[in-house]
Amino acid sequence: MRILLTNDDGVHAPGLTVLEEIARHFSDDIWICAPSEEQSGAGHSLTLNRPVRLQQHGERRFSVTGTPTDSVTLGLRKVLDAAPDVILSGVNHGANLGDDITYSGTVSAAIEGALAGIRSIAFSQVYTRQWTGNAAFDTAREWGPKVLAPLLDTPLPQRTLINVNFPPRTPETVKGIRAVRQGFHDYSRGTVVEGRDPRGHTYYWFGLDAIEHTLDHGTDLEAIDEGYVSVTPLHLDLTHHASLGNIAGRFAG
């Protein structure tokens, strides 16, 4: 089984090493093609206004001077001579829960994989102010193989991917794994910090505060709050089918 690894935290991120450890439980045919620098928040962006470079760091280890989507694209078209069986993205340093998903470079790399018709799974380690640093990846390292094993051969329709989050607690206190739907945060993107650069020009910097959410039963947010690994199947049909008839009616006649 050939596995392609990527992320949005960059090719040197500790979470990518953890992802490689998880993948090695299942295969030795592991390839890495990840952004050369951190791309958190890049979403599903594709670099169009400048050239992108591919750098080789080892026999099967490459970086791309672009986004996670660029990395998957070059991984599939230039690095690998045959399509991988699986694409794994992560392990992200931080949550990708609820409506974080559309901002997420980690999830978007898996979206790109799903668009290419390849089984794709995103992994993220949730952390808090009390729970941070590389020690937090112990939970992903231990629970990763347990959650990945059944996902490697479960049937997945076209344009469907899997989003996995690990809770911010020690591996032995994790309660289990739950398949749950995507939840939603109460809308807020946190603070916008305003400052002045050394030349006197105003800049803005988006803060990443803990975003409030109302816990809804059966969601990824609830599962993480209760100490479970969350597993959420996502699909790329963004059409809201229930509204289609109503909207079509407004344009009829």
Instruction: Answer for the pair 30, 20: CB distance below 8 angstroms, yes or no.
Output: yes
Determine which helix (DSSP H) or strand (DSSP E) holds 176, and give its type and residue range.
strand 176-179
Q: Cβ of residue 117: shortest distance to Mn ion, in angstroms? A: 25
Q: Cβ of residue 147: shortest distance to Mn ion, in angstroms? A: 19
Residue 56 or 132: which CB sits closer to Mn ion?
132
List of residues contacting Mn ion (CB under 5 A): 8-9, 40, 92
Q: Which residue is nearest to Mn ion (CB)?
A: 40
Instruction: Answer for the pair 213, 205: CB distance below 8 angstroms, yes or no.
Output: no
Residue 94 or 183: which CB sits closer to Mn ion?
94
Question: Residues near 124 by Cβ (< 8 Å), separated by ≥ 6?
Answer: 90, 91, 92, 94, 95, 96, 97, 104, 106, 163, 164, 165, 166
Residue 73 or 96: which CB sits closer to Mn ion?
96
Q: Cβ of residue 81: shortest distance to Mn ion, in angstroms? A: 29
Residue 89 or 230: which CB sits closer to Mn ion?
89
Instruction: Answer for the pair 165, 220: CB distance below 8 angstroms, yes or no.
Output: yes
Angle, nearest 10°, between helix axes 14-23 and 137-151?
Answer: 40
Q: Cβ of residue 176: shortest distance to Mn ion, in angstroms? A: 25
Residue 85 or 99: which CB sits closer to Mn ion?
99
Q: Cβ of residue 114: shortest distance to Mn ion, in angstroms? A: 19
221-230 burial: b if 16+ Cβ within 10 Å, else e: bbbbbeebbb
Q: Cβ of residue 46: shortest distance to Mn ion, in angstroms? A: 18
Residue 1 or 22: which CB sits closer to Mn ion?
22
Taking the C-alpha atoms of residue 88 and residue 109, their distance in angstroms, rounded to an integer, is: 9
Q: Measuring CA to CA, which residue among 148, 71, 149, 145 is closest to residue 113? A: 71
